[in-house]
Structure 1
Amino acid sequence: MYVRKVREKLRKENAMKSDPILRRHLPETYPYTSVTARKMIRKYPSLFIKPNRGSQGKGIIRLRRLHYRKIQISWGLQHREIPRKKAVQAVQRLMKPKRTYLIQQGLELAKYKNRIFDIRVYMQKPASKWFISGKVVRVAVQGRFLTNYSQGATPKTVEEVFSSIYKNQPKIASQKINRINALCLALARTMDRKFPGIRELGIDVGVDRKGYIWIIEANTAPQFNTFKSLSNKTMYKRIISRRRTIYS
């Protein structure tokens, strides 16, 4: 079976923006230019600069406003404080020549045990219908700004994390999970219309400190080792089973 991959983040971003409901859940994102960077530095407390083609968090740069005159620039495991007026030049020195980048609004993500997290929703289309094959929370290493499993994040179940952050509020936790499911199914159908032939999606979902749900990114060649690390292998086995159908 032919399985399509879409590597460029900006193409996928534009596809998602075409849906008015999804658009409300997308962080502000643009192709990187120095002019756009200066505007967004003034507008948001934090920003992410990402390679247009890339995975596993490689090459991502974060800018975080410390106060009016200073910005922290982070890449890999390194952090440096720089004058705000020199932020754009500092970013451009870290960029690889001939690569295109995007710039994205940073989010104030909710925390689990004082560590930020996001949710990887693994979607598959083994025949004519999209299914959510699994959801896993990726809890970042203390002090790190990326939640990728390849960057050392700890996998947890959605139920475990949501029952912790929404203590004694099981109804709200359930509503959040249902809303995430609905958004991801809508996203899969939108992407399918724009890019016929995609069969798998790894959707990264964030919940901010106010409880708002954000769609951070969608990947058409998602990794699934995070699911293998959970003690319950049900979701991992489901993903493998459906992949056999997809790639048969």
Structure 2
Amino acid sequence: MAANKSLGIMTRCQGSHFVDKGYYRKLTLFGRKHGIRVFVFSPRRVDFATRTVRGFEYRGGVWQGGTFPLPAFIYDRCFIGPSYRHYKPFVEKLQNDPAITFLGYGLSGKWQVQQILAKSPKIAPYLPPTQIFTLANLQDTLSAHGSAIIKPAAGTHGIGVVRISEKDNGFELKGRNRENQPISRLFKHWGGVKLFLSSFTAGRKFLVQPYLKLHTPEGIPFDVRVLVQKNGLGEWEVTGKAVRLGDPRSITSNLHGGGKAVSLSPFLARTYKPAMQERIEQQVNQLAVELPIFLEQSHGRLVELGIDIGIDTSGHVWVIEVNSRPGRNVFNLINDPVAKRHSITQPVRYANYLMKSV
């Protein structure tokens, strides 16, 4: 296969261990059908002098290690987290290499995305008021709304998201810690909250927002995951939509926190009156079309986005988070075979489109 027909999946490998092996195996097999050689590599294993990289290729039913020429095209699946700083310089060097095309450039964090989207008159009304976390900003939010959430500026899976509520007998904190374990604390005085949060947020940037009542009338937290991807013509397309239902004891609906998934329309029909259901679906569809185009204009090329949409108890639609390295397990859980298939094949179709265009 020609060198320009190679697609490197860039991820964080610990030796031969890397996440999403099942997904990458399917990408490899689908790529092979299109004459594209797909392999997985860590940006830390690139040798820029020889323009080669140590990586893994799925062959003969197993992942095999080897040395590969630097791929002409890269699919960035390097999830951002506290240890990303060890990878960042290598990722940036690859991004600046004129011989390499990235399918899309990863979003840098929730705050930067918020700043971009706030410039769109069409999208801004769907954004919750957001500030950089400081104790003063938290106090202002609590004074105005009675409860607030803090969440890491870079992070996923609901990890580190905490709700702070004012109660008659003090302050209640509820959420998940850095190990994704549920936490619940009650403090009689603000001093206790202050002490706890200064330790909890130490060394990381957090955001503060009003707490939105994103749950069903029965109190089950939920959000809507919309997966949008570039197709084989280089155009944005909605791959699928699903509702993620959380544990009633949790404040987030993330599947990593023990949630489950259901199809969108039947869920909305059960939860809202018909006129409201219609308006909500319309707004979700509108965001799925407008948000990727607007974000890409400011940010640079993107290949796919997971848009997490919240709907509060009064039916207001909110953009909660936008992720440039989305998971796709939700479509297995709701048994949507078309969305499941497209979620895997679209990145290869888009890579094929770029290979013909570049």
**Partners of 1:82 and 1:108 in 2: how far apart?**
22
Native 8 Å contact 2:229 2:346 kept in 1: yes
Q: Specify the alignment match of 1:119 in structure 2.
A: 224
Does the C-alpha gap of structure 1 residues 58 and 247 become closer, same or farther in structure 2, counting only changes over 3 Å?
Answer: farther
Amino acid corresponding to residue 224 of structure 1 in structure 2: R
Higher relative contact order (CA 8 A, sep 6+): 1
- The 3 A distance-change label for structure 1 pair 75 and 109 is closer
* 8 Å CA contact 1:7, 1:220 repeated in 2: no
| Alpha-carbon offset, residue 59 of structure 1 | 1.6
Distance (whole Å) between structure 2 residues aligned to residue 247 and residue 91 of structure 1: 44
Is 1:6 aligned to 2:6, yes or no?
Answer: no
CA displacement, residues 54-88 of structure 1 (integer Å, 9 cap, x when unaligned): 11111222212223x52211232121111352333
2:290 to 186, 189, 201: 186
- Measure how far apart 1:171 and its partner are: 4.4
Is 1:24 the equivalent of 2:128? Answer: no
Match of 1:160 in 2: 266
What letter corresponds to residue 111 of structure 1 in structure 2?
T
Contact 2:214 2:222 in 1 (8 A): yes
Give the conservation status (yes or no) of the 8 Å contact 1:7–1:54: no
Alignment check: 8 A CA contact 1:57 1:146 kept: yes
TM-score relative to the length of structure 2:
0.64
SS in 1 for 2:221: strand
User: 1:90 Cα deviation (Å)?
Assistant: 2.2
- The amino acid across from 1:52 in the alignment is A
1:129 aligns with 2:230: no
**How far is 1:232 from its partner?**
3.0
Shift of 1:113: 4.8
Partner of 1:244: 348
| Residue of structure 2 aligned with 1:71, choices 171, 175, 200 | 171
Deviation at 1:159, TM superposition (A): 1.4
Aligned to 2:194, what secondary structure does the other structure show? helix
Aligned partners of 1:66 and 1:184: how far apart in 2? 38
Alignment size in residue pairs: 244
Q: What residue in structure 1 maps to residue 199 of structure 2?
A: 93
CA distance in 2, matches of 1:55, 1:120: 13
1:137 alignment partner AA: V
Instruction: Tell me if the contact between 2:175 and 2:251 (Cα under 8 Å) persists in the aligned partners.
Output: no
Task: Tell me which moved more, 105-114 or 150-159.
Answer: 105-114
CA contact (8 A) 2:166 2:172 kept: yes
> Contact 1:112 / 1:139 at 8 angstroms: preserved in 2?
no
Structure 1 residue matching 2:308: 3-state secondary structure: strand
| SS of the residue 2:184 aligns to | strand
Root-mean-square deviation over aligned CA pairs: 1.7
CA contact (8 A) 1:61 1:91 kept: no
When normalised by structure 1's length, the TM-score is 0.91
Q: How does 1:47-66 map to 2 (within 5 A)?
A: 47-66=148-167
How many percent identity over aligned positions?
22
Aligned to 1:41: 142
Specify whether residues 40 and 112 from structure 1 end up closer, same or farther in structure 2 by C-alpha distance, changes over 3 A only. closer
Name the residue aligned to 2:311.
207
**Residue 115 of structure 1: SS of its match in structure 2?**
coil
Distance 1:56 1:139 in 2: 13
Gaps of 5+ in 2: 1-72, 74-101, 177-181, 353-358
| Inter-CA distance 79–181: structure 2 relative to 1 (3 Å threshold) | same
Match of 2:32 in 1: none
Structure having the higher Rg: 2
Corresponding letter in the other structure for 2:146: P
- 1:89 deviation in Å? 3.0
Q: Structure 1 CA distance, aligned partners of 2:143 and 2:351?
A: 47
Deviation at 1:50, TM superposition (A): 1.2
Moved over 4 A (4+): none
Separation in 2, partners of 1:142, 1:36: 28
Q: The residue matched to 1:111 in structure 2 has which SS?
A: coil
Give 2:326's match in structure 1, choosing from 218, 222, 231. 222
